[in-house]
């Protein structure tokens, strides 16, 4: 027997703080990109309209695909839509957490109702964006994933303490938004954040982080799109793995372009990097990750 859930709109939670100094960046962990590639790549909506904003990419500027979802782009789309209801379609592994917060703040200021539809996954920064919806619908096979701000930091123990103290108010603010949306306690939500929690569609509805399951006939999966998503995602995951090992982002990108090699590889620093990533890129990433884990 199929379970039915009542669709009901809640008041959008309050605005989230955005750091004035963006010297520290907050990312989605590399393993989130791997799971998105395995379970959600290529998932799209069956239909779109002129009042729909799609978020099927990285949150923030996407070096590898040359796109990305940014607050600036979303603001421009909202201006084009005008004073009308908006539908936001999401299938994203996340990306830049603070850019996601900025997008959430932009959406929550829209004067008309916002319906968020999670088509495949709304992870990390994308899950924050989803909370801006008056109504949130999620596919039965889709996932919502939440976690604390995840950063790469280098320094001594005093630097680490300073970084932790700097991050704490952002984690607390996110806990309060998820709690306000779900009706759960801040303490319960914080445990989910600490555990880097994935929630299926039905669990997200039961916990109050979504309002209803999305009808299956509104979602499709395209093999060609899936392959393109997975190829680009391998580059993103490899970059984060190298950054976690101590490289700067520019160094990591240069190293990946070396691994990609020629023909087809663009010079380091070129958005898009290459028209088609090498077929063995995933294997290269797996070898690199294994080498880093072995010390």
Do 255 and 240 contact (CB within 8 A), yes or no?
no
66 by DSSP, 3-state: which? Answer: coil
Length of the chain: 295
Asked if 124 is an active-site residue, the reply is yes
Alpha-carbon distance of 251 to 257, in angstroms, equals 10
Q: Which of 25, 37, 142, 147 is catalytic?
A: 147
85 by DSSP, 3-state: which? Answer: coil
Residue from 43, 234, 244, 12 nearest 112 by CA: 12
Pure H helices in the chain: 30-39, 71-81, 97-108, 125-130, 157-182, 186-194, 201-206, 223-244, 249-260, 281-293
Do 8 and 210 contact (CB within 8 A), yes or no?
no
145 by DSSP, 3-state: which? Answer: strand
Q: Which of 25, 37, 92, 124 is catalytic?
A: 124
Alpha-carbon distance of 252 to 174, in angstroms, equals 29
Q: Is 21 exposed, middle or buried (0-12, 13-18, 19+ CB in 10 A)?
A: exposed
Beta bridge partners of 214: 139
Q: Which residue has the tokens 């955005």?
A: 18
The strand pair at 212-214 and 135-139 is best described as parallel
Do 89 and 129 contact (CB within 8 A), yes or no?
no
* Active-site annotation, residues: 124, 147
């Amino acid at each position: 027997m199929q379970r039915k859930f009542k669709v009901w709109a809640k008041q959008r939670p309050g605005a989230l703080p955005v750091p004035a100094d963006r010297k520290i960046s907050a990312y989605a962990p590399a393993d989130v990109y791997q799971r998105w590639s395995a379970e959600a790549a290529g998932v799209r909506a069956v239909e779109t309209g002129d009042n729909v904003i799609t978020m099927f990419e990285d949150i923030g500027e996407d070096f590898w695909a040359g796109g990305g979802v940014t607050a600036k782009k979303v603001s421009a789309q909202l201006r084009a839509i005008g004073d009308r209801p908006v539908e936001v379609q999401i299938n994203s592994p996340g990306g830049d957490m603070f850019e996601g917060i900025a997008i959430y703040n932009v959406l929550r200021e829209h004067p008309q109702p916002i319906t968020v539809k999670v088509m495949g996954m709304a992870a990390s920064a994308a899950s924050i964006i989803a909370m801006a919806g008056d109504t949130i619908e999620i596919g039965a096979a889709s996932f919502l994933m939440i976690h604390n701000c995840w950063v790469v930091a280098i320094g001594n123990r005093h630097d680490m303490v300073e970084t932790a103290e700097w991050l704490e108010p952002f984690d607390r603010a996110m806990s309060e938004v998820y709690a306000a949306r779900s009706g759960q306690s801040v303490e319960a939500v914080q445990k989910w954040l600490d555990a880097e929690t994935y929630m299926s569609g039905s669990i997200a509805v039961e916990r109050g982080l979504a309002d209803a399951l999305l009808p299956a006939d509104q979602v499709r999966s395209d093999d060609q799109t899936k392959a393109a998503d997975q190829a680009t995602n391998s580059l993103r995951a490899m970059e984060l793995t190298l950054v976690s090992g101590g490289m700067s982002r520019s160094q990591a990108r240069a190293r990946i372009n070396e691994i990609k090699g020629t023909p087809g590889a663009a010079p380091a620093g070129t958005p898009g990097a290459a028209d088609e990533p090498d077929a063995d890129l995933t294997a290269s990433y797996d070898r690199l990750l294994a080498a880093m884990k072995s010390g």
